[in-house]
Amino acid sequence: MNAPVIRELHTMEEFDTVSLLFADIWGTEPGNGPISAEIMRALAHAGNYVAGAYEDGRLVGASVAFFGEPIGTSLHSHITGAVMGRGVGLALKLHQRQWALARGLKRITWTYDPLIRRNAYFNLVKLGARPEEYLVSFYGAMDDAINGGDDSDRVLTAWDLTAPAPPELKELPADAADGLRDHEGRPVMGTTDAETVLIDLPDDIEALRRTDPGAARAWRLALRQTLGGLLAEGARVIGLHDRRRYVVQRATSLS
């Protein structure tokens, strides 16, 4: 399959198509998607990033980003949605990276749900971005098909465009301790006092929200306490091991 064609968007017809695609991906009514065509129109006209990915002339992904603080150095990527399994999301992010570099920007930030394993793998391993801040219920409760009424906890993640991507974390540090582990689909708290803390993720939080909301809620609160607490103390996520656990080091071990 050929790589998708990615280009910036400028017309209301294009933005209407993006709005419909996003509504389909997020499982909302067509007029109630995560971002409106009118907002995309305004952002694009003001010089921000709105781009679409096309396969055989059909829209299969899109991304919307705007300039952020510090002004002149950072781009904030508000939303990216794409069909899964065909590399469209990666192609969009690489296009966004080139767009930012062409404008002298040094980093791109975005938020994602830290409970979704595939997003954690994509952000940390495929791109080499790193979480910087835990944001509790950032958008309030969200009732779309992906978020399922859960609190919208997010991590603010930064992609340094000037540095090479860090290597994938293949081996764990010898001092690593379980801060949160998965036991038969439920979160079990451990210790977060170690120099290196491992934080497991559930296999499929989106499915769990539908089949066992109580377990999904337990995961949200446990991750908020462990990952959120560590980031608030100045710890840093140094990688994702085995596609399922964050590896977090305390600030003392990073100095």
Which pLDDT score is estimated for 224?
Answer: 98
The amino acid at residue 158 is A
Please give the tally of structural domains in the chain: 2
User: Does 104 reside within a domain?
Assistant: yes
Which pLDDT score is estimated for 30?
Answer: 81
**pLDDT band for position 84 (50/70/90)?**
confident
User: Does 185 reside within a domain?
Assistant: yes
**Quick one: 16 and 44 in the same domain?**
yes
User: Does 167 reside within a domain?
Assistant: no
**pLDDT band for position 117 (50/70/90)?**
very high
| Residue where a domain terminates, one of 136, 160, 184 | 160
87: left (phi over 0), alpha (psi -120 to 50) or beta: left
- Range ranked top by mean pLDDT from 82-91, 97-106, 132-141: 97-106
**pLDDT band for position 149 (50/70/90)?**
low
**Quick one: 131 and 180 in the same domain?**
no
**Quick one: 17 and 127 in the same domain?**
yes
**Quick one: 236 and 189 in the same domain?**
yes
Which pLDDT score is estimated for 2?
Answer: 81
**Quick one: 53 and 102 in the same domain?**
yes
Which pLDDT score is estimated for 165?
Answer: 87
User: Does 188 reside within a domain?
Assistant: yes
- How large is the average pLDDT for residues 7-32? 93
Question: What distance in Å separates the CA atoms of residue 106 and residue 32, rounded to the nearest whole number?
Answer: 33
**Quick one: 141 and 208 in the same domain?**
no
**Quick one: 73 and 180 in the same domain?**
no
Top pLDDT among 31 and 119 is at: 119
Q: Which of 152, 153, 222 is nearest to 187 (CA)?
A: 222
**Quick one: 107 and 28 in the same domain?**
yes
User: Does 201 reside within a domain?
Assistant: yes
Q: Which structural domain range is residue 18 located in? A: 5-160
Question: What distance in Å separates the CA atoms of residue 111 and residue 120, rounded to the nearest whole number?
Answer: 11
Question: What distance in Å separates the CA atoms of residue 203 and residue 133, rounded to the nearest whole number?
Answer: 23
**pLDDT band for position 144 (50/70/90)?**
low
Question: What distance in Å separates the CA atoms of residue 74 and residue 68, rounded to the nearest whole number?
Answer: 5
What DSSP assignment string belongs to 142-200?
Answer: --STTTTT-B--EEEEEEETTSPPPPP--S--TTEEEEEEEETTEEEE----SSEEEEE
**Quick one: 180 and 155 in the same domain?**
no
Q: Per-residue b/e over 109-136, b at no fewer than 16 CB within 10 Å?
A: bbbbbbbbbeebbbbbbebbbbbeebee
In CATH, what number is assigned to the domain containing residue 109? 3.40.630.30
